[in-house]
Amino acid sequence: MKRDRRDPIALLVDSLRIYSPTTREGALGEFLCEEMESLGYSKVRTDGAGNAIGRIGSGKVRLLLCGHMDTVPGELKVRRTKESVSGRGASDAKSPLCALMLAGSRAMDSGVQVTFAGATEEEGAGRGVEELIRSAAKYDYAVFGEPSGAHKITIGYRGRVSVNVLVRTQGGHAGSPWAHENAFDEFCSVLSRLREYEASRTVAGDHFRSVSLSPTIVSAGSFHNVVPSRCEATLDLRVPPGTLAQDVLKDISSIATAGARVEVTPGEATEAYEAEPSSVLVRAFQRAILLAIRAKPALVRKTGTGDMNTFAQKRGVPCITYGPGDPTTSHTDHETVDVRDYLNSIEVISEAISQLGKLSEGLA
């Protein structure tokens, strides 16, 4: 590709033209490795999970900048105007990915040793971040790339666990429903009881501090005139900070299995995470937003779940999530990022790295 390899917009557009749904990130990983080498990163490589990794800068402070390369499925035409760039991943999360890599390349004299990682399978099984967790590399801080806007710092995500609910009954002829237990009806009764529990764990006006439960997949029945004898459902459970997912799972299981032929099988839990607002990392980004773009910093707590949760819990490293993009367009056919927001975020991350070095040395 013939272009200025340090042109931020061209870099983003080229990354968007490489279709990289979950488990198919290889071509984008190769592209990022080439770009890192041209930007001055050293020890550029791909690891066992396909993560694209490079290092730049030196100093006592070790910082991980991690964006994810994968997107949800569905190719979109890449469009560029003076004001915006759109395409699959423009918001979630190739604009944060490119911003982190470009800002990291400016860290040579910051007193901070930066490792950039383009991670795989964030939208899937999280294979990329798990490989980073298992690696021998040591980090003092980590920043993960997701869309929020250049003046916003995401310091919290709720926890998550997927729950499988299986209901079995005898079934029977649909012409005499009064004579047969219906597995789908039983599931609806279970869901009603779980909704009551959800309401009891809801904090009015604060979704971040509330437990939420969403049925995402429901399957029942095998023939048009047969009462279902089996209903299987997947529930997406979100848990706020201060509450362990395992405790909520115990409640869910107890409520769901009461008086019914119900099996509850939870998946692996990701606990909630909330960064300390006064931490060095948060302060570095707050200062950077004030200095680089003259905006008022905003601390954001999101109701979803991200790689930040997993890394922070398993590595015990202070983390935040940051990046440009319109999160309301994520996973839609209208993914977009404002050009000014994207460019501003690069300036903020670059300044934040500098501030992190100064704060860690007691110079600011």
Q: Which of 121, 122, 335, 351 is catalytic?
A: 122
Residue 15, C-beta contacts closer than 8 angstroms, at least 6 positions apart: 28, 31, 32, 89, 94, 97, 98
Return the axis-axis angle of helices 94-104 and 8-16, rounded to nearest 10°.
140
DSSP track, 166-194: EEE---EETT-GGGS--HHHHHHHHHHHH
- How far is residue 53's CA from residue 116's CA, in Å, rounded to a whole number? 6
- How far is residue 13's CA from residue 98's CA, in Å, rounded to a whole number? 10
Order the strands of the 84-86 sheet from edge to edge: 79-80, 84-86, 336-338
Q: Is 122 considered catalytic here?
A: yes
DSSP track, 49-113: T--EEEEE--SSEEEEEEEE--B-S-----EE-SSEEESTTTTTTHHHHHHHHHHHTT-TTTTEE
Q: Which of 25, 35, 47, 70 is catalytic?
A: 70
Where b means 16+ CB within 10 Å and e means fewer, 335-362 reads bbbbbebbbbbbbbbbbbbbbbbbbbee
Q: Which of 304, 307, 342 minimizes the C-alpha distance to 130?
A: 307
Q: Which helix (H) or strand (E) holds 27?
A: helix 26-39
Q: Which helix (H) or strand (E) holds 115?
A: strand 112-119
Q: Is 251 considered catalytic here?
A: no
Where b means 16+ CB within 10 Å and e means fewer, 86-114 reads bbbbbbbbbbbbbbbbbbbbbbeebbbbb
Catalytic residues: 70, 122
